[in-house]
Structures are given as C-alpha cells and as structure tokens.
Amino acid sequence: ETAVFQTPNYHVTQVGNEVSFNCKQTLGHDTMYWYKQDSKKLLKIMFSYNNKQLIVNETVPRRFSPQSSDKAHLNLRIKSVEPEDSAVYLCASSSDWGALYEQYFGPGTRLTVL
Amino acid sequence: GDSVTQTEGLVTLTEGLPVMLNCTYQSTYSPFLFWYVQHLNEAPKLLLKSFTDNKRPEHQGFHATLHKSSSSFHLQKSSAQLSDSALYYCALSALNNNAGAKLTFGGGTRLTVRP
C-alpha cells in the first residue's frame, strides 16, 4: 500500500516532557511537510523538506525540531511540550516542491498535553 | 504575505440544494489555488486545484473557477449530498523566492448536509 503513515495515532503527556512523532511515505515523493491543526481546525505549515533538505521553516518555537534520515521519512521532535502544543500534527508529502503539486496527508498524530 | 479567507465557518444545507463555499485570497506572487476536503477522523485530501490555462476544474460534482480580478476561488456544486458533509479548506500555493512552495490554508468551512 502506498500512502503516508504516521505513528503514534495519539499521545498524552505532561508539560515539560519530550515527544517524537514519526512519518513515513511510500509514494516515492521527494518533498515532505509537517502541519499543525489546532482545536479550531486551523491548519498551518510548520516545516517542509525536499530530498532531506529543509526548505521551509515557519516561525515555530525552538522546541520543535524536524529530523529527516532520508526522503521517505520526516520525524518531528518537541523538546519540552507546553499546553498550547496540544493539537493534531499532520504529515504530508508531494512529488516535488513546486507550487502546483498535490499534497498527500497522513492520518495525523493527536497530541494532548496535560 | 499570503493569506486565504473563508468567510463561513459553518454551512448547513438540505440535501439537493446547491452548495457554494466562499474563498478569497491575497498573494504577492501568482498563486495556485486548491480545495482540500477532510471527512471526520480522516486525513485532508485534494478535491480540486486551479489550472494554469483557465480551465475550470471539476471533481465529484464540485467545481471552482479562479477569478484573478476578484482574487476568488469559490467552490460550487449544483446538488448537495449527505456524503458531502465534511470540513473544506481553500488553500494557496506560491513559490516565494527561494523559500519553496508551501500551502497556506484558509480557516476551513464545515459543511453539514441534512436529509
């Protein structure tokens, strides 16, 4: 099956802890993204990578750091979570980083910070 | 910077009535426009995207026309179905210098279709 896969589906943690989310795509795409979808369903880009190189880095707190081992994987680490980090984190990929390319989304990881 | 505005946060319709979801945008560069749909507990999926040659994209009965003069890309369907109930996002993508392309999303419109 070719798709975008994310683990875990859900994660509950306490303020100050470190969390890591994994994303893998089997579509053979060159570009991957992380988005944050908050409780009001606002969807915002956080990072994008093309062939393991960071190409978009929006204004996100320093505690967020993306990690790419190869073009099929893009993980997200949050060093010390805060309550406002509670959200759904969506991973996506596209065949290239041009403006017209369709993005394919994973099912998301729901983070709850207590 | 780029921005997308969807004026209605919530639209409720009766099955069989026409659908129109508004989308206007602002962009420094000449952008491409998209509609993504997210059904409950699913990932967002592409519904439509604008063409470079002014053709009107259509999919699953939905269509949208890019009007550069009014910076709009409204989503329309002639007859709503129960299965159309979902969250609809209008999005813009433009190449910004060396920053690469990124999708800028509107706030989303939740469409509920009632029997």
By Cβ distance, the residue of A43, A97, A108 closest to B101 is A97
The reply to whether B1 touches chain A by the CB within 8 Å rule is no
Is residue A104 included in any domain, yes or no? no
Asked if residue A83 has a cis previous peptide bond (ω within 30° of 0), the answer is no
With respect to residue A108, please indicate whether it lies within any of the assigned structural domains.
Answer: no
Interchain CB contacts (distance < 8 Å): A and B: 57
Phi then psi for B73, rounded to 5 degrees?
A: -150, 65
- Would you say B76 and B19 are in contact if contact means Cβ atoms under 8 Å apart? yes
- Assigned domain for A102 exists: no
User: Distance (Å, rounded) from C-alpha B51 to C-alpha B59?
Assistant: 13
Whether A104 and A4 have beta carbons less than 8 Å apart is answered as: yes
| Residues in chain B within 8 Å Cβ distance of A48 | 100, 102
Question: Percent of chain B scored above 70 by pLDDT?
Answer: 90
- Give alpha helix (H) positions in A28-93: none
**What are the average pLDDT values for consecutive 10-residue runs of chain A, which has 114 residues?**
91 97 95 93 90 82 93 95 97 83 93 97
From the list A63, A68, A77, A71, the residue with the least C-alpha distance to A109 is A77
> Over the stretch B37-84, which tens digit does the pLDDT of each residue have?
999 989 999 999 887 656 677 788 999 988 888 999 999 999 999 999
Please, which pLDDT band fits residue B26 given cuts at 50, 70 and 90?
Answer: very high
CATH number, domain containing residue A31: 2.60.40.10
Give which of A23, A43, A56 to mutate to test B binding, by max B Cβ within 10 Å.
A43
What integer best gives the mean pLDDT of chain B? 89
In a domain, A12, yes or no: yes
CATH superfamily name and code, B3-114: Immunoglobulins (2.60.40.10)
- Work out how many domains chain A is built from and give that number: 1
Could you list the residue range(s) of the whole structural domain that residue A38 is in? Answer: 4-97
A103, part of any domain: no
pLDDT tens-digit series, residues A98-110: 767 889 999 999 9
Chain B interface disruption, residue of A100, A102, A104, most B CBs within 10 A:
A100
Q: Enumerate the domain spans of chain B.
A: 3-114
Residue carrying the six token digits 């709850």: A112
Q: Which chain B residues have a beta carbon less than 8 Å from that of A50?
A: 100
